[in-house]
A and B are shown apart, each in its own frame.
Chain A
Amino acid sequence: MTDTSFVRTAMLPPQEPPVTQRGAVKWLRENLFSSPLNSVLTVLGIAAILSLIGAALPWLFNSVWNAASLKECREIIWAAAGPEATGACWALIRERWHQFLFGFYPQDLFWRPVLAMGLLMISLAPALYYGLRRANVMMVGPVSVLTFIALVLLDHDPTHLALFVLLLGGLTAVAWFAPKRLILLTILYPLLGYFLLWGGSVWGPVGVAAGFALLAVVYTLAKRVVGVVVATGAGVVAAAIWWLMVQTSVTTALHGAMPWGIPGVNSDQFGGFLLAFVIGVTAIGASLPIGILLALGRRSDMLLIKTLCVGFIEFVRGVPLITVLFVATLLLGYFLPPQTNFDLILRVIILVTFFSAAYLAEVIRGGLAALPKGQYEAADALGLDYWQAQRLIIMPQALKIAIPGIVSSFIGLFKDTTLVAFVGLMDPLKGVTTIVRADTAWKGIYWEPYIFVGAIFFAVCFGMSRYSMYLERKLKTDHR
């Protein structure tokens, strides 16, 4: 009898999954058509995208970059694509880009805001990546190159260009050889930026710097004897006496003896994104310390301090920014001594700073509240005093927790700089775009300027939010 049973000696090769369970089909089934509802949504989504592309693509495809007016633009488009065709008229941006970016800043001085912007980026590097050589160079190098390219496009004077190369190259070298030293530029930047943008005599910023130096000296000398709070108070008083009473006579005398300076630019010539950045960056930089102090004050044991901080924060958060801006233009004059009249931009910056500080204080308070109580107790157990505990233990952790909130406050502040148009400043959105659209040559244009301005705002704000996500990941110390 022959053995008919069959024993397989080799394994069958694994069969491929059915066609609906692999590759593109599987992906489509799982991600686009997993249920009837999802299928409907997908179809609707595709239809929406197609209709959007159908409208936008010919419009973008017919773009015109060279024309003197909207009418000419339309004629070019109709000649190229037939009558009734639509097309984008970017010629407007090409003709008016300098107003969108700089307002009425003198054209031959454009290098100053560009250099100020480049130096701002460079001085941000040590603040963002303190002491990290690689990161500092990665930021300073490309920024220097980009700034230089922009400067070459704006200014053709070889001596100037040589100076720019020297300055930017020097800073890159500092970032490479001594990244920690770069922080000096960050500390000096507020005065440097002011001098570059507004110009005038060099002695004004020097005098202000001398006041800060005086503050620092008094503080260091007095801190050992009378403690942090009193020493700060004494320093502020000394600096205030210098700024209010002594500085003007000293700087005037110095300017008489050595009239060094660059041409001054008036505040009413500022506009466009230059204005948005000046207000946004200053207010962001100044509101963070004030916000921290307000948050600490709100958690203070001292009843009076706490009441003051709570009252201030709740008042500011309860009113719209636009009313605060109106206070800057209409009411501030009443509150200051008669005949004092200072710059509108400065007034707006001061009030926007306090406005944003109140929001930041709430965000930072959230961070402080999220810290476990053990951290405070551990700081006390180590014998640290209040400010040491805040500086070494509490703040580093609380600020880390509060990063997403802080950055979204900053983004909100930068977007809110557009509101200064309503008190007569020339912001890129309402101020400049209205001027441009009021021109008879460009009457009736609306998509192009708003898309241009919106795209720049999007790039800046989106960049900030991505950076905050990166920072959150980098600083994450838990093991989840």
Chain B
Amino acid sequence: MSLATEAPKDSFRLSMLVFDTRYRSYTIQVSVLILLLLFLGWITDNTIANLSQRGKDIDFGFLWQRAGYDIDQQLIPYTNDSTHGRATIIGLLNTLLIAIIGCVLATVVGIVAGVLRLSKNWLVARIMTVYVEVFRNIPLVLWIILIFVVFTETMPQPKDFKITEDMVAAGEEPKASMLFGVIAITNRGSNLPGPLLDRPLPTYEIATVPVNLSVLAFLAVLAGSIYANLRLLRHARAVQEETGIRPTTWWKTLLILVLPSVLLLAAMGFHLEYPAIKGFNFTGGLIINHSFTALLIALVLYTGAFIAEIVRGGIQAISRGQSEAAFALGLRPGRTMNLVILPQALRVIIPPLISQYLNLTKNTSLGIAVSYLDLRGTLGGITMNQTGREMECMLLMMGIYLVISLIISSIMNAYNNAVKLRER
């Protein structure tokens, strides 16, 4: 038998760069690279020409200049004497605040609506279908503006809450009254009871970063009790593995989670400050702008409708045999849900759920419709208009949004890899 001779080696010809699939990809990539470099060079050249024509340059120095405008919702101290950089951070915090609260509430709304849409109750299922379809098919901006307008136009003015001595004498009631006697919703904003501390820990400013020790202490105590609770649960599981009997943990959990925080708050003299009418407006307590409320409600209801569909799809994706098999094993309905259905449904639900969180976070930028001062409102709004540095502000803003999105999607990828079905 003769050994198979190797195919004669073709000598390389120039035409093979176009016709031979082995080499064609190099030709294509090299030409794309050349085109790309030409394109980038063209854009850079244009940008330099345009900037010099308008007498501008690229300079982020404005971030350290005085901002000179007020922001009415601020999580860390800020005055109009602070820098543009600090205004940017205030805006970023406002974006993150509404994104985080929105994600939590939208998940609750979405799960409730999604489960109720599958309910055997005909009426409730229909109501939820209407809710989901109405909110999914109408633009989010409409909901934001409508809710904002309804709040500002229908709510009573602060003076309507006022009780004068004449009215007391005449036995008249004021035109408007506070909800539960503590919450006042006026056409200017919502006034809620605000937390106050009698004996707060000191606040330091370290390299322009404010450090509120009271908040830090509270968070540390909370984190500590959560960690202790995890230890307790792990111990309980170990006992269960060994003896088959799970020790009762619920009251210990409750105690560990609640008691230290309550003790700390009591030590710092925690009490609530109620809003009260003074002059023509309410003072004291927390004042929440309607722009925040409207944006939050609209985002929660809109995203909740999408999450409801995801939850419904996830539960329906689990085949019926799974719950039947669980029943055949003698598991009760609650445990069937917890141990059999949910772990499988979550694998379907979580990836699109996180991409809804991503959407919600990006949609917070629609606060522009109601002048909510988030990242776009400060950096991409007032700061940009005041300094006239569109290029820097836009690049910085897109960069920040991009980083937030990449963080969220890398969490999603890590989760996906963790729960991926390992086949073969």
Which chain B positions have C-beta within 8 A of A321? 362
Please name the residue on chain A nearest to B43 by beta carbon: A335
A41-B124, A334-B51 in contact; A322/B365 too (CB < 8 A)? Answer: yes
Q: How far is the CA of A446 from the CA of B19 in the complex (A)?
A: 65
Contacts of A446 in B (CB 8 A): 146, 149-150, 153
Q: A42-B123, A335-B47, A457-B137 are in contact. Are A323 and B380 (CB under 8 A)?
A: yes
A362 to chain B, nearest CB (A): 9
What 1/0 mask marks residues of chain A from 402 to 418 whose CB sits below 8 Å from any chain B CB? 00000000010001101
Contact indicator B137/A458 (Cβ below 8 Å): yes
- Give, as a whole number of angstroms, the nearest-CB distance from B140 to chain A: 7
Q: Knowing A415-B139, A418-B141, A458-B137 are in contact, say whether A315-B124 is a contact too (CB < 8 A).
A: no
> Given A338, A422, A465, which contacts B53 in the complex, CB threshold below 8 Å?
A338
Cβ-based interface call for B397 (8 A): yes
Convert B351-381 into 0s and 1s, putting 1 for each residue whose CB lies closer than 8 angstroms to a CB of A.
Answer: 0000000000011011011000000100010
Say if the beta carbon of A217 comes within 8 Å of chain B. no
How near does chain A come to B208, taking the closest CB pair, in angstroms?
Answer: 27
- Among candidates A31, A327, A334, residue contacting B120 with C-beta atoms closer than 8 Å: A31
In the complex, the answer to whether B50 meets A323 with C-beta atoms within 8 Å is no
Residues of B within 8 A of A84 (CB): none
Q: Which of B32, B138, B146 has the most CB of A within 10 A?
A: B138
Closest to B130 in A: A49
**Smallest CB separation, A39 vs chain B (Å):** 9
Task: Knowing A335-B43, A419-B366, A454-B138 are in contact, say whether A330-B394 is a contact too (CB < 8 A).
Answer: yes
Query: Within B314-370, which residues are at the interface with A (CB < 8 Å)?
Result: 362-363, 365-366, 368-369
Type the 1/0 row for A25-60, where 1 means its CB is closer than 8 Å to any CB of B. 000001110100010011001101100000000000
Q: Are B29 and A303 in contact (CB under 8 A)?
A: yes
CB of B76 within 8 Å of the partner chain: no
Q: Is A10 an interface residue (CB 8 A)?
A: no
A314 CA / B43 CA spacing, docked (Å): 21
Contact: B119 with A334, CB < 8 Å? no
Q: B122 on the interface (CB 8 Å rule)?
A: yes
List, in ascending order, chain B residues with CB within 8 A of A49's CB: 127
* A255 interface hit (Cβ, 8 Å): no
**Residue in A233, A318, A429 with the greatest tally of chain B CB atoms within 10 Å:** A318
Q: Is B216 an interface residue (CB 8 A)?
A: no
Contacts of A31 in B (CB 8 A): 120-123
Q: How far is A336 from B43 in the complex, measured between Cα atoms in Å?
A: 7
Whether B394 contacts A418 by the Cβ 8 Å rule is no
Nearest-neighbor residue (CB-CB) of A48 within chain B: B127
| A387 close to chain B: CB less than 8 A | no
Whether the Cβ atoms of B394 and A318 lie closer than 8 Å is no
Contact B153 A338 (CB under 8 A): no
Instruction: Report chain A residues within 8 Å CB of B32.
Output: 304-305, 308
Check if B127 sits within 8 Å of A320, measured CB to CB: no
Assess whether A382 is interfacial by the CB under 8 Å rule. no
Query: Is the pair B406, A418 in contact by a Cβ cutoff of 8 Å?
Result: no
Interfacial chain A residues near B140, Cβ < 8 Å: 415
Residues of B within 8 A of A462 (CB): 133, 137
Q: Contact between A45 and B19 (Cβ–Cβ < 8 Å)?
A: no
Q: Which of B19, B119, B127, B139 contacts A429 (CB 8 A)?
A: B139
Q: Contacts A330-B390, A429-B145 hold; do A323 and B139 have CB atoms under 8 A apart?
A: no
A289 to chain B, nearest CB (A): 18
Whether a CB of chain A sits under 8 angstroms from the CB of B266 is no
Check if A317 is an interface residue, CB within 8 A of chain B: yes
The stretch that binds B, out of A116-124, A189-197, A202-210, A222-230, is A222-230
Tell me how far the C-beta of B24 lies from the nearest C-beta in chain A, rounded to whole angstroms.
Answer: 8
Q: Which of B127-164 contact A (CB under 8 A)?
A: 127, 133-134, 136-142, 145-146, 149-150, 153
Query: Which of under 10, 10 to 19, 20 to 34, or 35 or more describes the interface residues of B?
Result: 35 or more
User: Pick the contact of A320 from B36, B146, B365 — CB < 8 Å?
Assistant: B365
- Chain B contact residues: helix, strand, loop or mixed: helix
Is B387 an interface residue when CB atoms closer than 8 A count as contact?
A: no
Q: How far is the CA of A334 from the CA of B46 in the complex (A)?
A: 7
- A430 pairs with B394, CB closer than 8 A: no
In the complex, which of the residues B31, B47, B394, B406 contacts A326, with contact meaning CB atoms closer than 8 Å? B394
Contact of A450 among B43, B145, B363 (CB under 8 A): B145
Nearest B residue to A322, CB-CB: B365
Cβ of B218 within 8 Å of any chain A Cβ, yes or no, is: no
> In the docked arrangement, what's the CA distance between A355 and B49, Å?
27
Distance between Cα atoms of A421 and B28 in the complex (Å): 41
Chain B neighbourhood of A301, CB < 8 A: 25
- The yes or no answer to A263 lying at the interface (CB within 8 A) is no
- Residues of chain B within 8 A (CB-CB) of A433 are 145
- Asked whether any CB of chain A lies closer than 8 Å to the CB of B259, the reply is no
Q: Tell me if A265 is interfacial: C-beta within 8 Å of chain B.
A: no
Complex alpha-carbon distance, A450 and B127, angstroms: 22
Give bound CA distance, A433 to B369, whole Å: 13
User: What is the bound-complex CA distance between A34 and B50, given in angstroms?
Assistant: 72
Q: A83: CB under 8 A from chain B?
A: no
Residue A158 interfacial (CB < 8 Å): no
Q: Shortest beta-carbon distance, A326 to chain B, in Å? A: 6
On whether the beta carbons of A338 and B46 are closer than 8 Å, the reply is yes
Give the chain B neighbours of A335 by CB distance below 8 A.
43, 46-47
Per the bound structure, the CA–CA distance linking A334 and B153 in Å amounts to: 42
A293–B117 Cα distance when bound, in Å, is 38
24 contacts across the A-B interface (CB closer than 8 A):
A41-B121, A41-B124, A42-B124, A45-B123, A45-B127, A227-B18, A227-B19, A233-B31, A302-B25, A305-B29, A319-B402, A320-B363, A320-B365, A322-B366, A326-B394, A415-B137, A419-B141, A421-B141, A422-B368, A430-B141, A450-B142, A453-B142, A454-B146, A465-B136
A contacts, CB < 8 Å to B: 30-32, 34, 38, 41-42, 45-46, 48-49, 226-227, 229-230, 233, 301-305, 308, 314-315, 317-323, 326-327, 330-331, 333-338, 411, 415-416, 418-419, 421-422, 429-430, 433, 444, 446, 450, 453-454, 457-458, 461-462, 465
Q: Other than the known A323-B394, A411-B137, A429-B139, what 9 A-B pairs have Cβ atoms closer than 8 Å?
A: A31-B122, A302-B28, A304-B32, A304-B33, A318-B401, A330-B394, A333-B50, A334-B47, A338-B50
Query: 6 closest A-B pairs (Cβ-Cβ)?
Result: A318-B405, A31-B122, A461-B137, A320-B362, A415-B139, A320-B365
